[in-house]
């Protein structure tokens, strides 16, 4: 029932105009106040929404129950922010219709009562208005006048009066032209072009005069702007598109005519030619002049710089792969018509080394000349070197990469050197300064290698309290297979010159003794250790020097015999190389030994009446002849020495 409050406020004459305002949207008035409250524990509220379709303009605003403005920007679903409880009414309305273009939006299923679910079936449908171009013809006395709008929709005109072109939407353009002039007359169009702005266009005027015969024809293929024709070197006519045309100046029968192109089109650039462009007027309008336009095409290219890798491929408009082999100029084979869009992109980046190439000035519209300013700049991909520090307790730890990039580290966790490296570059992570307070020894795992196509993140720096690394420097290493050994058991394979450190750290005060466990070969070398033994202090041992020398010759083993009185002395080297000694003096074994070989001089046969012994008789061949072996003999029972 209608509430008395509404009647008193509005009065009976205004009742019908505001009935909806006093309704709860379900066909009855003031029933909303009669709805029971939501049940205990029911959902606090439900949303109201639906779908918008056909929206082309802007400014559409919806309301629910006269409030809660909701701006709609495009097709799709919508939902009001406010929720309604079960039993409450909803009434969705359009409070602002869209413009640009003007549209009318209607609502289906826009009102009702909230049940126990969200409302989502409201349909808002928008339609664009239809407008007309209206005009007037005056002075028409001949027959055959035909008008066109936008190059189509022929409209024959038989007498003076109004004409209409319909079916235009808001925002669309229009151009009214004379397709066919009437016999014996020339008709000119005033205010021929414009844009629909939410209403009919009504100021087009077509004025016809009987001053002679027109010169015209048909233009085909017009895509650019600015095309201008000329009649007999003086009368200009702008052509805005393909279709029929006629010069405004009429000529008398018997007059000559020459039609030429005064200005070619641009945006896009075109070349237009004239067919049947010259002749003599013969008692009727000339309608066979033919204008044919074709778009010109231009190439796209530019320059490449910074290219060091291989495999770079660029594309034009997503097609037409062009491999780039070196820096310099490039040009795509396929030409692009004037006015068309072009876009140059990198289809494949170079590798060996990995690079990233970027394109500048690579997109635009073809104008009236070849495009030659595309710039492709390549640079090596730069990647970070880093990893993880574990076990750090002291302070002052400084890591170093490649002997110069220093990185202080204050705590366990991830680290990354500030200087990035190009793909293909080598890296070598070392401990420049070990931590102190407490003193710790830090070792590096996975610390050297070559940067690939991504960041290096697997370097591990492990720090042990009071333990320090033992290492130093290897020099002049040429062969392979060099193995160093510390304290008789900790072996370390060396594959190149530079710093080294044993994997097993030692506590402060511990002894270390570095020796050669295996000499290098290919080529054969003899490596010697300097500063190879000592005690670990409060820092890493880095003073050990391993010098390697290539083995290129054999060396002799010899020495001196003293106090020999008897005869028959025979000495022997390595159990097989015998040498008879007849008197005191120097001796040399005939068999020479290569560097690194062991030697062991012994008495194979004692002389008569003497007892001989060997001193300094065993060792390893180094880098020179062995000449300090001593064979000392004494008389039986003399007891000298």
Mean pLDDT of the chain: 88
- In this model, does residue 7 exceed pLDDT 60? no
Mean pLDDT of 114-134: 91
- What confidence score (pLDDT) does residue 16 get? 34
Band (636; pLDDT cuts 50, 70, 90): low
Instruction: Report residue 21: phi and psi, to 5°.
Output: -65, -30
pLDDT exceeding 70 applies to what percent of the chain?
Answer: 92
- DSSP H or E run through 296: none
Question: Which one has a higher pLDDT value, 40 or 588?
Answer: 588
- What confidence score (pLDDT) does residue 215 get? 94
Band (43; pLDDT cuts 50, 70, 90): low
**DSSP strands (E only) in 7-66:** 48-53, 60-64
- What confidence score (pLDDT) does residue 211 get? 65
Summarised one tens digit per residue, pLDDT across range 344-384 is: 999 999 988 888 899 999 999 988 899 999 999 998 778 89
- What confidence score (pLDDT) does residue 130 get? 79
* 413, 420, 426, 464 from 457: Cα distances, Å: 12, 12, 14, 21
pLDDT exceeding 90 applies to what percent of the chain?
Answer: 65
- In this model, does residue 640 exceed pLDDT 60? no
- In this model, does residue 498 exceed pLDDT 70? yes
Mean pLDDT of 520-537: 89
Band (563; pLDDT cuts 50, 70, 90): very high
- DSSP H or E run through 4: helix 4-10
Summarised one tens digit per residue, pLDDT across range 616-627 is: 999 998 878 999
Summarised one tens digit per residue, pLDDT across range 74-87 is: 999 999 999 999 99
- What confidence score (pLDDT) does residue 579 get? 96
- What confidence score (pLDDT) does residue 213 get? 86
pTM beyond 0.75: no
Question: Which one has a higher pLDDT value, 268 or 274?
Answer: 274
Provide the phi-psi class of 542: left if phi over 0, else alpha when psi is between -120 and 50, else beta.
alpha
Do 381 and 415 meet the contact criterion of CB atoms below 8 Å apart? no
Summarised one tens digit per residue, pLDDT across range 282-299 is: 878 899 999 999 988 999
Question: Which one has a higher pLDDT value, 185 or 42?
Answer: 185
- Pure H helices in 14-70: 19-22
- In this model, does residue 205 exceed pLDDT 90? yes
- In this model, does residue 453 exceed pLDDT 90? no
């Amino acid at each position: 029932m209608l509430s008395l409050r509404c009647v008193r406020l509005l009065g009976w004459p205004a009742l019908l105009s505001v009935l909806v305002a006093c309704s709860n949207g379900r066909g009855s008035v003031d029933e909303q106040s009669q709805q029971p409250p939501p049940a205990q524990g029911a959902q606090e509220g439900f949303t109201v929404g639906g779908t918008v379709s056909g929206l082309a303009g802007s400014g559409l605003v919806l309301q629910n129950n006269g409030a809660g403005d909701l701006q709609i920007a495009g097709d799709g679903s919508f939902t009001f922010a406010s929720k309604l409880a079960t039993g409450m009414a909803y009434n969705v309305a359009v409070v602002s219709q869209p413009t640009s273009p003007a549209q009318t939006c209607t609502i289906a299923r826009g009102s009702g009562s909230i049940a126990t679910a969200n409302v989502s079936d409201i349909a808002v449908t928008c339609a664009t208005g239809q407008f007309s171009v209206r005009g007037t013809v005056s002075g028409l006395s001949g027959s055959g006048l035909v008008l066109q709008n936008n190059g189509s929709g022929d409209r024959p005109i038989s007498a003076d009066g109004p004409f209409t072109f319909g079916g235009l939407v808001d925002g669309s353009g229009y151009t009214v032209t004379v397709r066919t002039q009437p016999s014996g007359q020339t008709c000119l169009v005033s205010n021929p072009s414009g844009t629909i702005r939410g209403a009919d266009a009504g100021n087009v005027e077509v004025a016809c005069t009987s001053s002679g015969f027109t010169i015209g024809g048909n233009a085909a293929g017009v895509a650019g702007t600015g095309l201008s024709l000329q009649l007999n070197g003086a009368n200009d006519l702008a052509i805005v598109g393909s279709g029929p045309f006629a010069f405004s100046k009429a000529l008398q029968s018997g007059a000559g005519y020459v039609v030429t192109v005064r200005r070619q089109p641009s945006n896009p650039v075109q070349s237009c030619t004239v067919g049947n462009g010259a002749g003599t007027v013969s008692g009727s309008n000339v309608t066979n002049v033919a204008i044919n336009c074709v778009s010109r095409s231009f190439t796209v290219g530019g320059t490449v710089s910074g290219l060091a890798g291989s495999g770079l491929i660029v594309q034009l408009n997503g097609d037409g792969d062009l491999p780039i082999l070196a820096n310099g100029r490039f040009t795509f084979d396929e030409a692009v018509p004037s006015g068309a869009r072009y876009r140059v992109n990198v289809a494949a980046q170079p590798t060996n080394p990995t690079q990233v190439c970027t394109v500048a000035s690579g997109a635009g519209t073809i104008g009236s000349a070849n495009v030659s300013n595309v710039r492709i700049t390549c640079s090596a991909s730069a990647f970070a070197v880093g990893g993880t520090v574990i076990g750090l307790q002291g302070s002052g730890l400084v890591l170093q990469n490649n002997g110069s990039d220093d990185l202080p580290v204050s705590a366990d966790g991830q680290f990354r050197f500030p200087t990035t490296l190009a793909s293909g570059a080598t890296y070598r992570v070392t401990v420049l300064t070990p931590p102190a307070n407490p003193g710790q020894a830090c070792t590096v795992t996975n610390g050297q290698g070559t940067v690939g196509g991504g960041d290096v993140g697997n370097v591990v720096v492990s720090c042990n309290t009071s333990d320090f690394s033992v290492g130093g420097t290897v020099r002049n290493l040429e062969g392979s297979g060099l193995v160093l050994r510390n304290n008789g058991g900790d072996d370390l394979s060396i594959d190149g010159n530079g710093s080294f450190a044993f994997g097993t750290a030692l506590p402060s005060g511990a002894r270390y003794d570095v020796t050669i466990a295996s000499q290098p070969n290919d080529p054969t070398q003899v490596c010697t250790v300097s500063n190879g033994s000592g005690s670990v202090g409060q820092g890493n041992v880095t003073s050990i020097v391993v010098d390697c020398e290539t083995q290129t010759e054999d060396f002799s083993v010899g020495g001196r015999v003293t106090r020999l009185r008897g005869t028959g002395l025979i000495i022997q080297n390595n159990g097989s190389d015998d040498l008879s000694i007849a008197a005191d003096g120097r001796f040399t074994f005939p068999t020479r030994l290569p560097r690194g070989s062991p030697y062991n001089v012994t008495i194979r046969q004692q002389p008569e009446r003497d007892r001989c012994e060997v001193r300094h008789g065993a060792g390893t061949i180094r880098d020179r002849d062995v000449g300090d072996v001593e064979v000392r003999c004494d008389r039986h029972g003399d007891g000298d020495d």
